[in-house]
Structure 1
Amino acid sequence: MTGRKNAMLTTEDRRWLTGKKEYEGEHAKQQRYQRRRDIRERIYNSILDFTILFHHLEEEERKKLFGNISADGTQWDLDDSALDDGIRDALAFLLYSVGATKLMTTNETDDSKITVAERLLTDALYQIGRREDILVENFELEIDATSLPISDLLDDLEAGNSLSPARLRVLLETNMVNTREIQDRLREMVFDDE
């Protein structure tokens, strides 16, 4: 992860953000401040570059990068899990940063209030439609979400309470669980009993 070419983040940025590099000594506070500021500036400028990429990157170059999606939109011919994860995390980073959690936690039924994340997502879909000569007449987003603090899951797990598959998934996606060990145990449970 830290050995890739410089992009939005430099190699040193990646090392610092992932805890593989620390600043110590007399000027450590200033170095951390400078690193944060540089990262913010590069992220900001990279986001602005997406306007140019969306409007001007040739279709052939986009396909070289992202591959092809089937006509029905369900199959992707790209077998690059790092890129797949990167796209997922980029969308998550952007939506989280513009307040998408408000879409998940708002209990109000006032449809006249549109969150920033909802407005941006809607505008993006309208813009994609215009590019492909498709009129997006309506876009509705419905999210069913439940507050599920990790501490509650850990309490239930420690107490021996049964956890639903959805709650187990939340635990698996934390860095507290070694997924390799879980996979090995599942293999034993599923295949060794045959």
Structure 2
Amino acid sequence: MDMTRETVAGIIGAVVAVLLQVVLAPALSLFEAVPNFIVAYCVVRAVATPAAAGALVPFFCGLLFDLMGGGPVGAMAFVLVLVTFLASRLYLMLNNDTLFIPVAILLLSIVLAELLYSMIVVACGVGAPFGEAFLYRTLPCMLYDCVIGLLMYPIAIRTMVDRPLGQPGTPVLR
């Protein structure tokens, strides 16, 4: 395994996202909406470093989320692997060096992840119809995660991406 800056930052970011999910997310809950730092981080990482995104970090982060939460085990792991793969490939195809493309892919991927997860949870028998689950839990969580993702993206670009000297945002040594 090649220990590049992207790899080390990705592992540290995953640990921080899991810790934020355990410690901070319950304190930030509004009614039924709880922020999902793990989903936001995995999607942000897939968009910020699409070539090095991989499936291991989303799988293990999703599995930890499943083991900590009350949903079916493996559901979030499956959703995160699928959505981060799609997000990274879509970014590689559509990247045009503007801010609109990564933000649009980031927001669409978070929405897709929350929708897929809620469909899996409802299909596994949560006891609520999909309309109620979507309106009272999925939609508020989706909006919460989008805001967190938008806050994480500039930090991820600054810390995870290797840039050669002379690129914007890189200090030049004199």
TM-score range, shorter chain: under 0.3
Higher relative contact order (CA 8 A, sep 6+): 2
- Give the alignment's TM-score, normalised by structure 1: 0.24
Q: TM-score, normalised by structure 2?
A: 0.26
Greater share of residues in helix: 2
Q: Point out the structure with max Rg over C-alpha.
A: 1
